[in-house]
Amino acid sequence: MNIRTTLGCIAFLLILGAAKPVDAADKQAKERGVYDAVELTDKDYHLIETSAEMHDQFQRRGLRHSDRELEAWLQEVGNRLIPETTDFYQKYRFYLIRDPSPNAFALPDGQIYVHTGLISRLQNEAQLATLLAHEINHVAGHHGVLAYRSQKKKAAAGIFFSIAGAAAGGWGDLAGLMINYGLVTSIFGYSRDLEQEADVKGYELMLNAGYDVREMPMLFEILGEDFEGLHPRSKGKWSTHPDLILRGEYTSELAAGTPDEQLAELSLGDDDFRSRVRPVAVETVRDYILDDYPKSALELAQDLVEEDPEYAAGWVAAGHSYISLGARSEFADDKPLTDKEKRKQVKIRSKFTRDELQAQATQSPEAKTNIEDNLAAAEKAYLRALELDQSAVEAHAGLGEIYLRQEKYRDSARELMTYLKLRPEAPDRSIVMDDLRDISQKLKIEAGE
Amino acid sequence: MSNSNHRGKLCVVLSGLILSLLSVSAGAAEYMTPEYAKAEFRPKMMVLIPPRAEVIKKKVSSTEQMIEEGAVLEDATALVLKEQFDALGYQLRVLTADEVNADPELQLMVRNFNERYDADLAQVQSKPKDIRKRRFSFGDEARILAARLEADVLVVGRISASGATGGQKTMAFLLGGSSGHAALNLGIVAGDNGDLEGFFAYVNLGMSPDKIA
């Protein structure tokens, strides 16, 4: 088990024990189904101040996504859902975090963050509303404050999380920040009761805003997908909560209990939802590749081209994904891995560097065939992208890379030069120039010069 | 005390912390490729990527100022490293977080590089001697960023500090107390191939140092 998985498991166990509400008045309010205002102590107020500072920290670290238009639209969707605010410190603001893990979280002062890796997978606005309504209820229900009151004296847990978070690196970046600042439950999830409460009350918010509540269980289905067959992307509550199936079941029951005449008035929301989030999905494919999750990348890219076969950027993303598979097969193994085998795989991942893992993959008996198949599929995807859109210049770079690997040096040089001609300021220009120099040498050798 | 005064004072204290870390030879560990060790690899332009700092306090209720201290620690580290590298005759350009965030393309490159660096950092820390064998490379992400910054070398800093109490008491114990630790590690990444050429770990510890670098 790698450090991230360990973190997730231990965090969950600790949170289950730590994050129970302690205040009797709060409990009564919850039982009445109404959230009363919660007066903050001086110490509680530090949590709110810290939450406010987190925003600057996310900005400083470049974690917040730069698409302000999409964020403004997220705010519009959120505004339709937010209930009457009971406390002055709750100001609902919705942001996008560039992080491919499927997660979302809310800070106690009303900041709600959706990861690009989650919004990319959603099929419609109603599913997004399900997600936002859930997070809104964590804020409205003061879940962060309640959890903080309970956990603030748990020094050992805090230190453990801090050190583990720092050690996790990469994926631990966001998690590490939250952990350090007493906001651990925001990202790792609250107790089972509070999560269920946020779901059930989310149903009410969905109905009030006119969103189709039959989409609620779909969210959990999407989150239950494990493209890598390893469950390695498991730090967030949306991806690790042990009751995804259970949550799907009770939200299905809620939807089934909704009168037909009411259901008939509900909608899936904006018809353009997918076209709004598609560019973010393309970025997410790249982020999966960067993090060495090629199967997740390919699944998302394939979804993009299935939903719109004319979307050239989707084909380019598919091409990149096939290349990133390297010697690994696109197809899942016939026999799914057992939990023990998955844990072993995750341990192996944490032991070796990216380059070493890829080198190991080339030692398998199927490696040669897999490489050939992946490069062929990538070529097909890039060529399709160029058929659809001549300005899909990255397809030329991709083709150049494929032909270089296939030792078709002239073809590779042609594609790489086309790429640089069409995009002279390409960020990877120096790398492409190095490749062209190598190709030139190889062609000279071939020509016997 | 105004915020800027507080920040300025904090910066002075934290600069002291970094200097003290760099000067504690007993806690330092250095790992290099043979070329770097023999000074065959002598970069002309080094660029310091905005360092990342975590200030951790033992009680979750002591979170006030942690974020500010973390940010100031990052700035202080950059200042001190600039002085240290200049003194050694290297030209170090300090890339600031503001510079990075003002340019979306650069922001993405830095993000991608940091992701890649941090993904392998645990392996580096676990077997730093393998740097001699050139086991660690941060690939195209390093090359692309270095090319954009016209850097021969990227310098990457990660700082962690933990303490028992809030505010300036934390700083006091960081500079010599015994109930916490501060650690700085620096990675020297070649711009032309992304290889990790050097890794330097400095610790000022109340805790056991042996696992930090």
Residue B183's pLDDT band (cuts 50, 70, 90)? confident
DSSP-assigned states of every residue in B88-107: TT-EEEEPPHHHHHT-HHHH
Question: A266 lies in a domain?
Answer: no
- For position A244, what pLDDT does the model report? 81
* Residue A339 buriedness (CB in 10 A; 0-12 / 13-18 / 19+): exposed
Task: Give residue A169's domain range.
Answer: 3-258
Q: Is there a domain that residue B213 lies in?
A: no
Q: Is the pLDDT of residue A233 over 50?
A: no
Classify residue B25 by its DSSP letter. G
Average pLDDT, whole number, for chain A? 82
Split at pLDDT 50, 70, 90, the class of A154 is: low
Q: What is the pLDDT of residue A7?
A: 36
Token look-up 């210049």 returns A393
- Tell me the per-residue pLDDT of A271-292, one tens digit each, with 9 for 90 and over: 999 999 999 999 999 999 998 8
Cβ <8 Å between A66 and B71: no
Q: What token pair was written down for A198?
A: 């946020």
Which percentage of chain A shows pLDDT scores above 70? Answer: 78
Considering the domain boundaries, does residue B210 fall inside one? no
pLDDT at residue A373, rounded to an integer: 96
Distance CA A82, CA A132 (A): 9
Out of A356-365, A412-421, B28-37, give the one with best mean pLDDT.
Answer: A412-421
Band (pLDDT 50/70/90 cuts) for residue B161 is confident
Token digits of residue A93 = 């603001």
Tell me if B120 and A353 make a contact (CB, 8 A cut-off). yes
State how far Cα A398 lies from the chain centre. Answer: 25
For the ranges A332-346, B22-36, B99-113, the maximum mean pLDDT occurs at: B99-113
CB contact under 8 Å between B56 and A152, yes or no, is no
Residue A145 or residue B99, greater confidence: B99
Pick the more confident residue, A436 or A1: A436
| pLDDT, average across residues B82-108 | 89
Distance CA B162, CA A163 (A): 9
CB contact under 8 A, B162 and A159: yes
**What's the CA gap between A113 and A193, in Å, rounded?**
22
For B150-163, give one letter per residue: b (16+ CB within 10 A) or e: ebbbbbbbbbbbbb
Min distance A291 CA to chain B CA atoms (Å)? 7
| Max mean pLDDT range (A18-22, A366-370, B79-83) | A366-370
State percent of chain A over pLDDT 90.
51
Which residues 3-32 in chain B show a CB within 8 A of chain A? Answer: none
Q: How close is the nearest chain B Cα to the Cα of A115, in Å?
A: 15
Residue of B nearest to A181 (CA): B63
Split into its structural domains, chain A has a count of 2
Same domain membership, residue A97 and residue A35: yes
Has residue A399 got a pLDDT over 90?
yes
Report residue B54's pLDDT band, with 50, 70 and 90 as the boundaries. confident
Of chain B, the percentage scoring pLDDT greater than 70 comes to: 66
A-facing residues of B in 132-161 (CB < 8 A) are 135-137, 139-141, 143-144, 147-148, 160
**Nearest CA-CA partner of B186 in B90, B81, B92:** B81
Q: Does B72 fall in a domain? A: yes
- Closest partner CB to B119 (pick from A165, A169, A182): A169
Could you say which of A233, A258, A283 is where a domain stops? Answer: A258
- Distance (Å) from the alpha carbon of A155 to chain B's nearest alpha carbon: 5
Based on the domain organization, do A214 and A319 belong to the same domain? no
Q: Which residue has the higher pLDDT, A216 or B15?
A: A216
Most confident of A85-89, B115-119, B199-203: B115-119
> Is A283 part of any domain?
no
Is the per-residue pLDDT at A60 higher than 90?
no
Nearest CA in chain B to A57: B67
Residue A115's nearest CA partner among A131, A125, A129, A101 is: A101
pLDDT for A239 beyond 90: no
In A, which residues are within 8 Å of B110 by CB distance? 62
Q: What is the mean pLDDT of residues A51-75?
A: 89
The answer on pLDDT for A433 being more than 60 is: yes
The size of chain B, in residues, is 213
The reported pLDDT for the residue numbered A211 is: 97
Any domain includes B7: yes
What one-character DSSP code corresponds to residue B127?
A: -
- Residues 130 through 189 of chain A touching chain B, CB cutoff 8 Å: 148, 151-155, 157-159, 162-163, 165-170, 172-173, 176-177, 180-182
> Do B189 and B153 contact (CB within 8 A), yes or no?
yes
Return the closest-CA partner of residue A119 out of A136, A104, A135. Answer: A104
Chain-chain contact of B60 with A151 (C-beta, under 8 angstroms): yes
Which one of B49, B63, B107 makes the best mutation probe of the A interface by having the most chain A beta carbons within 10 Å? Answer: B63
With a cut of 80, say whether residue B91 has pLDDT above it: yes
In a domain, B211, yes or no: no
B184 phi/psi in degrees, rounded to 5:
-130, 130
Set of chain B residues whose Cβ sits within 8 Å of the Cβ of A64: none
> Within an 8 Å CB–CB cutoff, is residue B122 touching chain A?
yes
Residues of B in contact with A176 (CB under 8 A): 54
Looking at the partner chain, which of A154, A356, A431 has a beta carbon nearest the beta carbon of B60? A154
* Across A209-237, average pLDDT: 76
Residue B59 has its nearest CB partner, among A56, A61, A155, at A155
What is the structure's pLDDT at A274?
95
Task: Give a yes or no: residue A23 inside a domain.
Answer: yes
Residues A159 and A248 placed together within one structural domain of the fold = yes
Asked if the structure places residue B154 within a domain, the reply is yes
Cβ neighbours of B203 in A, within 8 Å: none
Output the pLDDT for position A161.
Answer: 44
Considering chain B, what is the average pLDDT of its residues? 76
Q: Which of B55, B60, B123, B156 to probe by mutation at the A interface, max A CB count within 10 Å?
A: B60
What does the pLDDT look like over A167-209, one tens digit per residue? Answer: 333 334 555 555 444 565 665 567 777 888 889 999 999 999 9
Structure confidence at residue A273 (pLDDT): 96
Position A232 scores a pLDDT of 42
Number of domains making up chain B:
1
pLDDT at site A189: 64
A297-305 average pLDDT score: 96
pLDDT of B213 strictly over 50: no
pLDDT above 90 covers what percent of chain B? 36
Residue A260 one-letter amino acid: D
Looking at A108-112, A201-205, B166-170, which range is the least confident one? B166-170
Is B64 close to A46, i.e. CB distance below 8 A? yes
Min distance B6 CA to chain A CA atoms (Å): 16
> Cβ separation of A170 and B71 shorter than 8 Å?
no
* Tokens 């600057």 -> residue: A56
What's the gap in Å between the CA of B90 and the closest CA on chain A?
24
Interface of B with A in 101-120 (CB under 8 A): 101, 104-105, 107, 109-112, 114-116, 118-120
- Determine, yes or no, domain membership for A268: no
Lowest mean pLDDT among A36-40, A103-107, A252-256, A361-365: A36-40
CB B93 within 8 A of CB A55: no
- What number is the ipTM of this complex? 0.77
The verdict on A176 and A321 lying in the same domain is no
Asked if residue A326 and residue A425 are part of one domain, the reply reads: yes
Number of A–B residue contacts, CB under 8 Å: 131
**pLDDT above 70: residue B208:** no
pLDDT over threshold 50, residue B170? no
* A245 — pLDDT class (breaks 50, 70, 90): confident
3-state per-residue secondary structure call for chain A = CCHHHHHHHHHHHHHHHHCCCCCHHHHHHHHCCCCCCCCCCHHHHHHHHHHHHHHHHHHHCCCECCCHHHHHHHHHHHHHHCCCCCCCCCCCEEEEECCCCCCEEECCCCEEEEEHHHHCCCCCHHHHHHHHHHHHHHHHCCHHHHHHHHHCCCHHHHHHHHHHHHHHCCCHHHHHHHHHCCCHHHHHCCCHHHHHHHHHHHHHHHHHHCECHHHHHHHHHHHCCCCCCCCCCCCCHHHHCCCHHHHHHHHHHHHHCCCHHHHCCCECCCCCHHHHHHHHHHHHHHHHHHCCCHHHHHHHHHHHHHHCCCCHHHHHHHHHHHHHHCCCCCCCCCCCCCHHHHHHHHHHHHHCCHHHHHHHHCCCCCHHHHHHHHHHHHHHHHHHHHHHCCCCCHHHHHHHHHHHHCCCHHHHHHHHHHHHHHCCCCCCHHHHHHHHHHHHHHHHHHCCC
The two tokens of residue B102 are 């003002």
Distance CA B131, CA B125 (A): 10
Please give the pLDDT value at position B151. 94
CATH number at residue A335: 1.25.40.10
- Domain membership flag for residue A286: no
Q: Please indicate, yes or no, if residue A336 is contained in any of the structural domains.
A: yes
Distance of residue B61 Cα from the nearest chain A Cα, in angstroms: 5
Sequence-distant (≥ 6) Cβ neighbours of residue A373 within 8 angstroms: A329, A330
Report how far residue A212's alpha carbon sits from residue A215's, in angstroms, rounded to the nearest whole number: 6
Q: Tell me the residue range of the domain where B100 lies.
A: 3-205
